[in-house]
Amino acid sequence: MPRTTIHDIAKALNTSAATVSRALNDHPSISEATKVMVRVTAKQLNYQQNRMASSLRSGKSMVIGVIIPSAEISFFGSVIHGIEEVAKARGYNVLLFQSNERYQQEVQGIQTLLQSNVDGIIASIAKETTHYSHFLEAKRRNTPLILFDRAIEDLGVSTVVIDDYKGAYMATEHLVEQGYRRIAHIAGPSHIKIFHERLRGYVDALSANKLVVDEDLIVYGKVSIDSGRERMNQLLQLDLMPDAVFAVEDFTALGALQAIKETEFHQPGQIGLVGFANEAFSAYITPSLTTVDQQTNIMGREAAQLLLNAITGNANTETLPQKIVLDPKLVVRDSSRPPDQ
Amino acid sequence: MPRTTIHDIAKALNTSAATVSRALNDHPSISEATKVMVRVTAKQLNYQQNRMASSLRSGKSMVIGVIIPSAEISFFGSVIHGIEEVAKARGYNVLLFQSNERYQQEVQGIQTLLQSNVDGIIASIAKETTHYSHFLEAKRRNTPLILFDRAIEDLGVSTVVIDDYKGAYMATEHLVEQGYRRIAHIAGPSHIKIFHERLRGYVDALSANKLVVDEDLIVYGKVSIDSGRERMNQLLQLDLMPDAVFAVEDFTALGALQAIKETEFHQPGQIGLVGFANEAFSAYITPSLTTVDQQTNIMGREAAQLLLNAITGNANTETLPQKIVLDPKLVVRDSSRPPDQ
DNA sequence: GTGAAAGCGCTAACAT
DNA sequence: ATGTTAGCGCTTTCAC
């Protein structure tokens, strides 16, 4: 059984497909009476628009593409949620593509989304990615692109990020205020900007508080639980051990916490700890983890908003790339309690 | 600048669009030589297929739609991941739709996906949903549908679930084996089948182990942290308190754990606890939570597999709805340690 | 092995 | 306010 088309409706009403199309799209030049008739008949015949046909003709697909490293990371799940809310409210659907942190898959993602004629793309860059020309392909095709969180600026595209520098600064200063003095940092790969920014925030917060920046207290990890554990163990071997640790993100902090728990030191009390991301688990572990909230939902909503503006916005007005920087929020919990006397 | 079409390629090679189309689709009746020429020229001209046009003509969109309650729940994020892996490997894309646990949004999701001509749909039912006719719309449109986890059987569609009964049975029996005797259950809404099955598993495991099923020890919650906490407090008020709790899922268990921690009882030792779902946080909290793993990634992969088979499978062969039941795995951690003497 | 022609379902000029 | 016509880019009979 073939599905109902606008021609079927037209036939039933002794009118033309064009009128039906206009009526359904609420075109101003169609009389109220006709619109009502069309809508009623459409419902009767159980008409469902064929979006492919509409898209092919109009050049707009009402779909936005989203590329994320993995839906399994709660951070991205939460951002997607935000994107989807805004998109849906404005009649757009979300086509999802995961890069699995792979450069090749990211490139393929852009291609596939462009082939699917998405009206715009929102992406966060894979860990593996170090060059970015594939994103320019979207520009060449005149498809608006927004990057979030793991963003790169020199592409000349709009971005939504949080102020990683500030978040790290706040986190570090918080440890200082709590009374810690030898504060270590488990950093992430410096080629990824957000991680580098966090390192900078850490360093500057120490300096601003007249604490020496000790190179031994900065170790580089791979942003994972295991890596956090390893790096923490390395820090615990030092002759002059740290009395607190600022970890580049929560999974790293979790690994560090596990490492500390395996020693005779207590956490908190002897070793203060702060993470970054406010991952779901951070509130539930013991001790609960002090961390920096990244405003994931807002990030998704803002990214979607920016994109939709770019899509619907006047193409004539040469809009410069915008940069939205969200304010991180320090979430103080137990892991950064002041040190014991 | 307009994008390259097959006509451009045809013109460049002094051939026809039909030949180009066939060559690009590796049609058997095209000579190798022509195929090579076409492919080379396509690359030169930076040709990208227009999938909308292709879909409109061929009736296949190479897109599968997925409806989940929320991408923010790690369970669903993980399932999506599995779906996407399989889909991508077979050339399909994933169009995502969140119902936010709302019936209305679920109905709209089905509609939108059908309008988008997706080749098939994978869905997990919203908490709010109590009637299911909207799913039949997919059938009427001949669009294959697979339900996972929160599934309903009488629709006559294929499903992928885990054996909730068995998982609950294992969880409960595990507590018995550890030496607990008064085992309570914080249940979920019974109209959702998976929760009802878990209740059944709990009851049967007790009976099979010659323990009385005490109605006072079965309380009904709303499947959330707060609800878990409330129900646990209720259980703690009982004259004959339970010595262990099997919670309907991990968030409920987490709430229960928090409630216990606020008392003088210790957990584990005095009160055993088991959850369900193996949510990410369950491994990280203290004590780590014994729980039942739901094989999320496999669930996603199996669902995608089933769907793709239904899509590509011979439509003549009247395939009966299949039901894949995955085996739950008990994950023993600290929260169910044997009781102190 | 390749080309000509038709048409998927819709929208948008251009008519009236 | 409505109808006519053309065509988005592709696939697919049907020819040869």
Please check whether residue B54 touches A, CB under 8 A.
no
* Max Cα–Cα distance, chain B, nearest Å: 90
Contact B167, B198 (CB under 8 A): yes
Return the structure tokens found at A151: 């963003």
Residue B316 has pLDDT above 50, yes or no: no
pLDDT digits (tens, 9 = 90+) for A110-136: 999 999 999 999 999 998 999 999 999
What percentage of chain B has pLDDT greater than the value 90? Answer: 83
B87 sits in which H/E element: helix B74-89
In angstroms, the CA of B302 and the C1' of D11 are apart by: 32
Residues of B in contact with A73 (CB under 8 A): 77
Would an 8 Å CB–CB cutoff place A281 in contact with chain B?
Answer: yes
The phi and psi torsions of A28 (rounded to 5 degrees) equal: -60, -30
pLDDT per residue over A161-206, tens digit each? 999 999 999 999 999 999 999 999 999 998 889 999 999 999 999 9
Q: Do residue B49 and residue A115 have CB atoms under 8 angstroms apart?
A: yes
User: Cα–Cα distance between B239 and B182 in angstroms, integer?
Assistant: 12
Indicate the helix (H) or strand (E) that contains B187.
Answer: strand B183-187
pLDDT range class, residue B280, cuts 50, 70, 90? confident
Give the pLDDT confidence score for residue B73 in this predicted structure.
85
pLDDT, tens only, B24-48: 999 998 999 999 999 999 999 999 9
| A247 neighbors A275 (Cβ within 8 angstroms) | yes
Mean pLDDT, rounded, for B88-94: 92
Query: Which residues lie below 8 Å from residue A177, measured CB to CB, with a gap of 6+?
Result: none
pLDDT at residue A7 greater than cutoff 50: yes
pLDDT in the model for residue A72: 85
Least Cα distance to A183 among A164, A165, A222, A210 occurs for A210
Q: Regarding predicted confidence, which is higher, A226 or A284? A: A226
Backbone angles phi, psi at B36, to 5 degrees: -60, -50
Query: Is A285 within 8 Å of B280 when comparing Cβ atoms?
Result: no
**A interface mutation test: which of B97, B100, B284, B299 has the most A CBs within 10 A?**
B284
pLDDT at A316 > cutoff 50: no
pTM of the model: 0.89
- Ordered domains of chain B (ranges, CATH): 6-49 (no CATH), 60-161+296-325 (3.40.50.2300), 164-294+330-336 (3.40.50.2300)
* Nucleic strand D under 7 Å from the C-beta of B234: no
Region B78-87: mean pLDDT is 94
For residue A292, what pLDDT band results from cuts at 50, 70 and 90?
very high
Q: What is the pLDDT of residue B262?
A: 92
B262 touches A: beta carbon within 8 Å: no
Q: Is A58 exposed, middle or buried (0-12, 13-18, 19+ CB in 10 A)?
A: exposed
* Contact residues on chain B for A63, CB-CB shorter than 8 A: 95, 116
Mean pLDDT, rounded, of chain B: 93
Nearest by Cα to B151 from B104, B186, B95, B196? B196
Question: Which residues in chain A touch residue B259, judged by CB atoms under 8 angstroms apart?
Answer: none
CB-based burial of residue A193 (10 Å sphere; 0-12 exposed, 13-18 middle, 19+ buried)? middle
- Rounded mean pLDDT, A63-77: 91
Nearest 5°: the CA angle A48, A18, B65 is 25
Place B318 in a pLDDT band, splitting at 50, 70 and 90.
Answer: low
Sorted by sequence, the CB contacts under 8 Å of residue A102 that are 6+ apart come out as A126, A128
What pLDDT, on a 0 to 100 scale, did the predictor assign at position B1?
A: 64
DSSP lists the bridge partners of residue B97 as B67
DSSP label of A101: T
**Residue A57's pLDDT band (boundaries 50, 70, 90)?**
very high
The answer to whether A242 and A253 are in contact (CB under 8 A) is no
Looking at chain A, which residue has its C-alpha nearest residue B89?
A105
Cβ pair A235, A273 in contact under 8 A: no
Q: What is the mean pLDDT of the segment spanning B59-82? A: 92
- CA pair distance A205, A213, nearest whole angstrom: 10
Closest-CA residue of chain A to B114: A48
Given CB atoms, is B48 within the 8 Å cutoff of chain A? Answer: yes
User: Looking at the complex, does the CB of residue A89 fall below 8 Å from at least one CB of chain B?
Assistant: no
DSSP-assigned letters across all residues of B29-65: TS-HHHHHHHHHHHHHTT----HHHHHHHHS---EEE
For residue A323, the SS3 value is strand
Gap between the Cα atoms of B335 and B272, Å rounded: 6
The Cβ-side half-sphere exposure at B319, using a 13 Å CA radius, reads 17
Q: In what order do the strands lie in the sheet with B218-220?
A: B218-220, B183-187, B244-247, B272-274
Look at the block and give the residue holding tokens 């001790």.
A287
CA of A145 to C1' of C13 (A): 31
Question: Would you call A95 an interface residue with chain B, using a CB distance cutoff of 8 Å?
Answer: yes
- The label of the residue with tokens 């009781």 reads B339
A317 CB contact with strand D at below 7 Å: no
Mean pLDDT of B121-127: 94
Tens digit of each residue's pLDDT (9 = 90 or more) over A224-257: 999 999 999 999 999 999 999 999 999 999 999 9
Residues on chain A touching B226 (C-beta within 8 angstroms): none
Cα(A7)–Cα(B222) distance, rounded to whole angstroms?
A: 49
pLDDT band at B289 (very low <50, low <70, confident <90, very high): very high
Of A184, A173, A245, nearest to A210 by C-alpha is: A173
Q: What gap in Å lies between CA A117 and CA B51, rounded to an integer?
A: 7
Contact A141, A167 (CB under 8 A): no
Residues of A (3-42) placing their beta carbon closer than 7 angstroms to any atom of strand C are 3, 5-7, 17-18, 21-22, 24-25
* Interchain pair B78, A97: CB under 8 A: no
Q: Cα B51 to chain center, whole Å?
A: 28
CA dihedral A20, A26, A32, A37 (to 10 degrees): 40
User: Token digits for B173?
Assistant: 């029996």
pLDDT of residue B41: 95
Q: What is the pLDDT of residue B163?
A: 97
Q: Nearest protein residue to D5's C1' (by CA)?
A: A18
Q: Give the per-residue pLDDT at B153.
A: 84
- Cα–Cα distance measured from residue B322 to residue B327, given in angstroms and rounded to the nearest whole number: 16
- Chain A contact for B72 (CB, 8 A cutoff): yes
* Interchain contact B89–A (C-beta under 8 A): no
DSSP code for B334: G
Across the interface, of A93, A112, A286, the residue whose CB is closest to B95 is A93
| B3, pLDDT greater than 90 | no
